[in-house]
């Protein structure tokens, strides 16, 4: 597939020297954007920082969404029901689903630890 796009001159000059690697650069860039969208999405960072502190099982089970994230999720749910999500919002929703999965796994493990201890 051939794609034509306009980019700033300084980026074009930089890309000229590595044009053989453009497919890889684009693939890596897309992967990075998908992993870390440039929205106000900070949920994953917050969760990773929380887990990096090695919380107790009780702290993990007490973990709740911040009001801001809860509001964002409710807004996305409402919009999805009424008009559908655009590409950015769909990506954001997928990130929230991923975080929910991580937190559920952590809470399940925490519950097991508490029952064993």
pLDDT, residue 60, reads 94
| Tokens representing residue 98 in the block | 């991923």
pLDDT, residue 34, reads 62
Per-block mean pLDDT, blocks of 10 residues, the chain (117 long): 80 80 79 58 75 92 89 93 92 87 92 91
pLDDT, residue 115, reads 93
Question: CB under 8 Å to 80, separation ≥6 — which residues?
Answer: 89, 93
DSSP 8-state assignment for residue 40? S
Distances (CA, A) of 106 to 12, 57, 64, 91: 45, 9, 13, 23
pLDDT, residue 6, reads 83
Q: Is the pTM higher than 0.75?
A: no
CA pair distance 72, 49, nearest whole angstrom = 20
| Tokens representing residue 53 in the block | 């502190």
User: Can you list the alpha helix ranges (DSSP code H) found in 1-117?
Assistant: 9-16, 22-35, 43-52, 57-62, 67-82, 87-116
Find where tokens 């690697």 sit: 21
């Amino acid at each position: 597939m051939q794609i034509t796009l306009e980019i700033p001159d300084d980026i074009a000059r930089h890309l000229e020297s590595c044009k053989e690697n453009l497919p890889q650069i684009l693939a890596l860039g897309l992967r990075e954007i998908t992993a870390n969208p440039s929205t106000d999405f900070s949920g994953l960072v917050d969760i990773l920082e929380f887990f990096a502190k090695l919380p107790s099982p009780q702290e993990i089970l007490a973990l709740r969404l911040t009001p801001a994230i809860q509001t964002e999720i409710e807004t996305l749910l409402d919009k999805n029901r009424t008009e559908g999500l655009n590409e950015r919002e769909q990506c954001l929703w997928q990130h929230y689903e991923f975080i929910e999965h991580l937190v559920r796994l952590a809470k399940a493990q925490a519950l097991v630890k508490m029952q064993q201890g």
